[in-house]
């Protein structure tokens, strides 16, 4: 008989990933579905749609459901022993939101095991394109929220962050103001993480404290929704969000759908899902004083803190491991996609060539320095490509190798400046196949 195992899911920007570990924490299975490549019918780029205003960024919610169907079928074909899964949990890209249409709970509870999920759930979403973390179209809603609660610093003191355009409360406020009828026909709003948990639970999963802190709606000290923030965003919102729970809550057994269709044990437990960054803090077993850097679609820097002071820059989130503690987070929007663009321009689209070019230049890049923001950055708020030579003169281009090093050093310098403000020790998480040279630059 196969040994017991545990599944972890990651619904992130560009792909859905799954990993199974045994009781000795050994990885026994890994797989992924890449949205652009494996689900071309949705026509996403990097898993998203960038709308014509260049500010609105969404992902089709049914693509996430279909990705789950696809990965489960792949696991089944490979002979994966679903019956051995004792529990599962997971993570989602932060801030993104899913809008369940009135009556969907009944459909979710009663999905037929004869059909893939995406067929049963196709009419369940009042918003078919979910706003995601790359969206920056809610500037007016952010100003209104800060004004309603007495200013940016006051909002940060309540929710851990001043108003950010990608934060879910502001996204909900935009949907309510532009399409009140869509908002009214929504019975539940999930984060990507709680949406994913809902698919497994066959019921609406609660939002967890950690991912809930990325909404500009949760009082991070009391761990309850802030009435003034809710009221500033949309009417009747509390009911649509449900009660938030600790990130490690056991939500209940898996939906019968998975036992009937894939052979999961009916006793398999669903543990609350959380945001991908909080999940990384938990998974890396970060301790107070450590800083981790994640190089995903976004780059993030995060750390465990006991006594946070919310400020106008960065975010304080509830800690996913210890409900008395917190985590600080900085997010950089120009992460992997920016590196990919320079790789394509300067290294023929090859990470190997990128790596060789990086190794061929020296630390400090002979004084050449660059800041690369293809899209409006979050930290700091800046856009464009800015190159400076060793005499501090602005230049319009660099030789290819110099460009590659300027990009990597510029990105890491920005993180280091913030790291110096926040702590001292740097760990690393991220794409496991990331070019070692990039890691070397980070640690140099």
Ligand X SMILES: O=C(CO)[C@@H](O)[C@H](O)COP(=O)(O)O
Instruction: Name the residues that contact ligand X, by CB under 6 A.
Output: 12-13, 93-95, 133, 166, 214, 275-277, 296-298, 300, 329, 331
Applying CB under 6 A, among 5, 12, 219, 230 the residue interacting with ligand ADP is 12
Cβ at position 59, least distance to ligand ADP in Å = 11
**348 sits near ligand ADP (criterion: CB under 6 A):** no
Phi then psi dihedrals of residue 421, to 5 deg: -70, -30
Q: Which is nearer to ligand X, 166 or 339 (CB)?
A: 166
Q: How many residues does the chain have?
A: 444
For residue 206, report the phi and psi dihedrals to the nearest 5 degrees: -70, 160
What is the nearest approach in angstroms of ligand X to the Cβ of residue 382? 17
Tokens, residue 377? 């950055």
Which among ligand ADP, ligand X, none contacts residue 133 (Cβ within 5 to 8 A by kind)?
ligand X
Burial category of 197 from C-beta neighbours within 10 Å (exposed 0-12, middle 13-18, buried 19 and up): buried
Per CB under 6 A, the list member of 5, 6, 11, 14 interacting with ligand ADP is: 14
User: DSSP string spanning 360-404?
Assistant: TS-TTGGG-EEEEESS--SSS---EEEEE-TTS-EES---HHHHH
Shortest approach of ligand ADP to residue 330 CB, angstroms? 16
| Pairing label, strands 97-101, 15-22 | unpaired
Strand partners, 294: 300, 429
Judged by CB under 6 A, the chain residues 417 through 436 that form the site for ligand ADP are: 430-431, 433-435
Q: In this chain, which of 137, 297, 319, 368 binds ligand ADP, going by CB under 6 A?
A: 297
Residue 361 — left, alpha, or beta (φ > 0 → left; ψ -120 to 50 → alpha)? beta
Min. distance of Cβ 332 from ligand X in angstroms? 9
The answer to whether 238 contacts ligand ADP (rule: CB under 6 A) is: no
Going by C-alpha positions, the residue among 164, 194, 171, 440 that lies closest to residue 329 is 164
Question: With respect to ligand X, which residue has the nearer C-beta, 253 or 308?
Answer: 308
- Residue 431 beta carbon to ligand ADP: minimum distance, rounded to whole angstroms: 4
What's the CA dihedral at 149, 377, 289, 441 to 10 degrees? 180
Per DSSP, 296 falls in state S
Q: CB 214 → ligand X: shortest distance, Å?
A: 6
Give the residues lining the site for ligand ADP (CB under 6 A): 12-15, 296-297, 336-337, 339-340, 351, 430-431, 433-435, 438
């Amino acid at each position: 008989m196969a040994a017991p195992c545990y599944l972890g899911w990651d619904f992130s920007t560009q792909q859905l990933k799954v990993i199974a570990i045994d009781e000795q924490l050994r990885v026994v299975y890994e797989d992924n579905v890449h949205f652009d490549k494996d689900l071309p019918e949705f026509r996403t780029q990097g898993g998203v749609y960038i709308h014509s205003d260049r500010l609105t960024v969404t992902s089709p919610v049914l693509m996430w459901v279909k990705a789950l169907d696809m990965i489960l079928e792949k696991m089944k074909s490979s002979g994966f022993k679903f019956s051995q899964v004792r529990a599962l949990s997971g993570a989602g890209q932060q801030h993104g939101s899913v809008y369940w249409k009135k009556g969907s709970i009944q459909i979710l509870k009663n999905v037929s095991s004869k059909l893939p999920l995406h067929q049963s759930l196709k009419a369940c979403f009042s918003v078919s394109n979910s706003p995601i973390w790359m969206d920056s179209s809610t500037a007016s809603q952010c100003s209104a929220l800060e004004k309603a609660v007495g200013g940016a610093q006051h909002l940060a003191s309540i929710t851990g962050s001043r108003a950010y355009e990608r934060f879910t409360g502001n996204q909900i406020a935009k949907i309510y103001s532009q399409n009140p009828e869509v908002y009214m026909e929504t019975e539940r709003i999930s984060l990507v993480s709680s949406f994913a948990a809902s698919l497994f639970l066959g019921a609406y999963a609660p939002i967890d404290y950690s991912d809930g802190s990325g909404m500009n709606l949760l009082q991070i000290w009391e761990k309850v929704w802030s009435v003034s923030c809710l009221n500033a965003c949309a009417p009747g919102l509390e009911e649509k969000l449900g009660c938030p729970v600790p990130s490690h809550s056991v939500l209940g057994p898996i939906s019968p759908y998975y036992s009937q269709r894939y052979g999961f044990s009916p006793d398999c437990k669903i543990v609350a899902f959380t945001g991908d960054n909080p999940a990384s803090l938990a998974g890396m077993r970060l301790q107070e004083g450590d800083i981790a850097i994640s190089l995903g679609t976004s780059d993030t820097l995060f750390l465990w803190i006991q006594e946070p002071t919310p400020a106008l820059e960065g975010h304080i989130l509830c800690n996913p491991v210890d409900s008395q503690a917190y985590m600080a987070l900085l997010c950089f929007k120009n992460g992997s996609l920016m590196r990919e663009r320079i790789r394509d321009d300067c290294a023929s689209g090859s990470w190997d060539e990128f790596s060789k070019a990086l190794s061929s230049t020296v630390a400090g890049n002979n004084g050449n320095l660059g800041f690369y923001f293809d899209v409006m950055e979050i930290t700091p708020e800046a856009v464009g490509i800015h190159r400076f030579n060793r005499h501090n003169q602005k230049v319009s281009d660099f030789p290819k190798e110099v460009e590659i090093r300027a990009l990597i050093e510029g990105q890491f310098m920005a993180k280091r400046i913030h790291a110096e403000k926040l702590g001292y020790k740097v760990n690393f998480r991220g794409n496991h196949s990331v070019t070692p040279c990039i890691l070397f630059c980070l640690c140099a």
